Every structure is written in structure tokens, then in C-alpha cells.
A and B are shown apart, each in its own frame.
Chain A
Amino acid sequence: EDQVTQSPEALRLQEGESSSLNCSYTVSGLRGLFWYRQDPGKGPEFLFTLYSAGEEKEKERLKATLTKKESFLHITAPKPEDSATYLCAFFPYSGAGSYQLTFGKGTKLSVIP
């Protein structure tokens, strides 16, 4: 069964303290992986798409990387406004027109001023 696991479940950082979030997956055929940010009471907001091992994407203080078994979201010098739940989701090879993302449960990040 395809699975995606995120760790840690929750992370508290001091402002400026860099860290990484992990998303590990076991899937039969990975086409790619998404990272999303979700603020309380809001829908997930798209951040990055990664397609192949070795790929990296950056946006402001965030950098996402992908290996054959896992993806990391690196947060450099975080600010309080980076506090949110970060979700990863993979999309497998699937039948024509069928497109089903499987989400991890997320990492709740709190950045303390």
C-alpha cells in the first residue's frame, strides 16, 4: 500500500533557527511530489512540485529536495510568519484521467520570535 509519512509531527523553532522537515514515502510508482503550506482554518496553499531524485526548488526561505525515498523541506532563518502546517503529497502513475494525491499528516511548525 502506498504511504507517506511526515516527521516530526510538530516542531518549535526560535526565529532564525534553521531546520528541516521530512517526508518519506513508499509508493509503487512515483510521478512526483508536492509540498503545501496550510494555515489554520484555510485550505492548503501550493508551494513546490518535485519530479525526480536530485531535484531542488527554492522560494524565499524554503528549499525542497527529493531523493528516491524521501523529500526534505529546509527552512532557513525562519520568521514567525512561516508558522503553519506543512504537508507533502505524492502523485503516482495512475489510469487515464484518474488523479489521486496522497497526503501526509503534516508537520506543524511554530516559529517563536
Chain B
Amino acid sequence: DSGVTQTPKHLITATGQRVTLRCSPRSGDLSVYWYQQSLDQGLQFLIQYYNGEERAKGNILERFSAQQFPDLHSELNLSSLELGDSALYFCASSFRTDNSPLHFGNGTRLTVT
């Protein structure tokens, strides 16, 4: 158990809808990361927050947004969903933002129908 909690585990929704994925980092970790994993693309970095502040952005679509709250949990909001957004979404956390390994949750599997 990595200590990173993600909810829900599974989400099935229709195209055009909006969903929110939630992540609680490991106790003491200040940085939260979101990754998308699809079969053909592997793990793709979306966005990083550190202590409530956005620090790095990767290949995140404009339809997607995230935030980190004062209690350090994070939410990833996905809107105007398309079939191609179906994927596993992982949250990870780390204590520092230099050479600390990331610790991953078990992901949310999103299926858009």
C-alpha cells in the first residue's frame, strides 16, 4: 500500500459529461502529480502541484483542470468528455520535488461511452 488514495476506482460516463477524480496524498507529502495511462501512450504527465500551487504542466488538455486544496488533497476535473479520454488516471505524491520517488495510487479507470 503506497498510502495514496484515489476515488472512485471506476467511473463510467457518457460523452460530453464532466467528472471529478479525487486524490489524497501520502501523509506528509506536499506534492501531488496527475498522470494519464492509456494502452498505446503509456504514462503521460498531466500536472503537478506543490503545497497548493501549480508547479508544472504537461500534456493536459484545456478541458481538464486540477487543484490542490489546503488539506493537500487534489482533484482532477475532466469536462466535455470524449471517447478518447477513456484511460486510467493516476495520482502520485512525493515529499520533495527534486529526486524523491513518486508514490502512486491505484488509479481511477474512466470509461467514456
For chain A, which range describes its interface: under 10, 10 to 19, 20 to 34, or 35 or more residues? 20 to 34
Q: Assess whether A105 is in contact with B2, with CB atoms less than 8 Å apart.
A: no
9-residue interface stretch from A19-27, A37-45, A64-72, A76-84: A37-45
A103 to B104, CA, bound (A): 13
B111 at interface by CB-CB < 8 Å: no
A99 to B42, CA, bound (A): 18
Q: Which residues of B contact A46 (CB under 8 A)?
A: 101-103
Q: Name the distance in Å between B64's Cβ and chain A's nearest Cβ.
A: 16
For chain B, which range describes its interface: under 10, 10 to 19, 20 to 34, or 35 or more residues? 20 to 34
Contact status of A98 and B97, CB under 8 A, knowing A43-B2, A43-B90, A106-B42: yes
From B43, B102, B104, residue with most partner A Cβ within 10 Å: B43
Q: Assess whether B2 is in contact with A100, with CB atoms less than 8 Å apart.
A: no
Q: Mark A86-108, 1 if CB is under 8 A from B, else 0.
A: 01010100100111111111100
B interface residues (Cβ-Cβ under 8 A, vs A): 2, 4, 31, 33, 35, 41-43, 45, 48, 50, 53, 55-56, 58, 90, 92, 94, 97-99, 101-107, 109
